[in-house]
């Protein structure tokens, strides 16, 4: 599915792989998410039939692209929770087994501080994803901004957790024999794709300036409590 302008209007087009003038160039050497098979789509005087236009001109970009980006952000946010959780589990295992000067790493207060932050941030990110998912399920219009909030927080949490995980692992954290170096590479990608961290900051702040009060949006727990009463 390709978005392009036609007669000055943006549209969505189905471009088949064997279309003349269309080719796919795999990208290698990327920082993270190396299993995602990222590729560059190349168009050289590529023509597609009119029936490959999805909907009317202007519809594809305004509806399909916006909807796909929203769900993409939600998927990335959920994936970031997974990265943060993996970092936490790796660090608990490592600090439970690794000794420094005859003392397990888990006994150091600084290590416990970082573990505490990982636990708290991961739980908070997961709840933000649950909140956004619930609002999507009931077709609440606030789900879009809540998804941006979830993506923003979860991606920054994943990067911080991964960075701390590498630090906790020390020299081993720089080795591919341990998974935390991959978590760090992958988490940074998550802050860029589906709307960068800076884009989310602009979007969330703009929503706030448009008289959107985050505190007035009922949380999932608040909704359930209201139903019981």
| Nearest Cα to Cα of residue 43 among 5, 10, 8 | 5
Structure-token pair, residue 218: 């009922």
**What share of the chain in percent tops pLDDT 70?**
93
Exposure b/e, 25-63, CB count within 10 A at least 16 = b: eeeeeeebbeeeeeeeeeeeebebeeebbbeeeeebbee
Which domains can be identified in the chain, with CATH numbers?
2-54 (no CATH), 65-228 (1.20.140.10)
Q: Which residues contact 176 (CB under 8 A, 6 or more apart)?
A: 182
Q: Please return the burial class of 117, using the count of CB atoms within 10 Å of its CB with bins 0-12, 13-18 and 19+.
A: middle
Within 10 angstroms of residue 1's Cβ, the number of other Cβ atoms is 12
Exposure b/e, 92-114, CB count within 10 A at least 16 = b: eebbeebeeeeeebbeeeebeeb
Quick check: helix, strand or coil at residue 23?
strand
Q: Give the position of tokens 């602009």.
A: 202
Q: How confident is the model at residue 118 (pLDDT cuts 50, 70, 90)?
A: very high
What is the model's pLDDT at position 40? 92
Query: pLDDT tens, 78-106?
Result: 999 999 999 999 999 999 999 988 999 99
- What value does the mean pLDDT take over residues 191-214? 86
On whether the CB atoms of residues 10 and 58 are closer than 8 A, the answer is yes
Q: How confident is the model at residue 16 (pLDDT cuts 50, 70, 90)?
A: very high
CA distance 201 to 194: 13
pTM to 2 decimal places: 0.84
CA distance 146 to 192: 18
What is the model's pLDDT at position 23? 94
Q: What is the DSSP letter of 13?
A: E
What is the model's pLDDT at position 214? 52
Q: Which residues belong to the active site? A: 194
- What value does the mean pLDDT take over residues 117-135? 98
What is the model's pLDDT at position 160? 98
Distance from the first to the final alpha carbon of the chain: 47
What is the model's pLDDT at position 229? 66
Strand partners, 3: 12
What is the model's pLDDT at position 33? 86
On whether the CB atoms of residues 147 and 128 are closer than 8 A, the answer is no
């Amino acid at each position: 599915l390709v978005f392009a302008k036609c007669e000055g209007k943006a549209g969505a087009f189905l471009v088949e792989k064997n279309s003349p003038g269309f080719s796919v160039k795999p990208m290698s050497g990327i920082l993270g998410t190396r299993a995602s098979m990222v590729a560059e789509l190349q168009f050289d005087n590529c023509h597609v039939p009119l029936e490959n236009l999805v909907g009317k001109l202007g519809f594809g970009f305004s509806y399909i692209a916006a909807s796909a980006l929203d769900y993409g952000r939600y998927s990335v946010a959920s994936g970031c929770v997974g990265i943060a959780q993996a970092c936490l589990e790796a660090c608990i295992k490592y600090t439970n087994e690794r000794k420094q000067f005859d003392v397990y790493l888990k006994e150091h207060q600084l290590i416990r501080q970082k573990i505490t932050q990982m636990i708290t941030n991961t739980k908070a990110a997961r709840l933000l994803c649950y909140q956004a998912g619930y609002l999507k399920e009931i077709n609440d219009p606030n789900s879009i901004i809540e998804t941006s909030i979830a993506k923003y927080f979860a991606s920054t949490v994943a990067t911080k957790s991964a960075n701390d995980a590498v630090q906790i692992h020390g020299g081993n954290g720089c080795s591919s024999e341990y998974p935390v170096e991959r978590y760090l590479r992958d988490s940074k990608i998550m802050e860029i794709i589906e709307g960068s961290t800076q884009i989310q900051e602009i979007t969330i702040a703009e929503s706030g300036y448009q008289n959107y009060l985050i505190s007035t949006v009922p949380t999932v727990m608040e909704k359930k409590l209201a139903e019981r009463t």
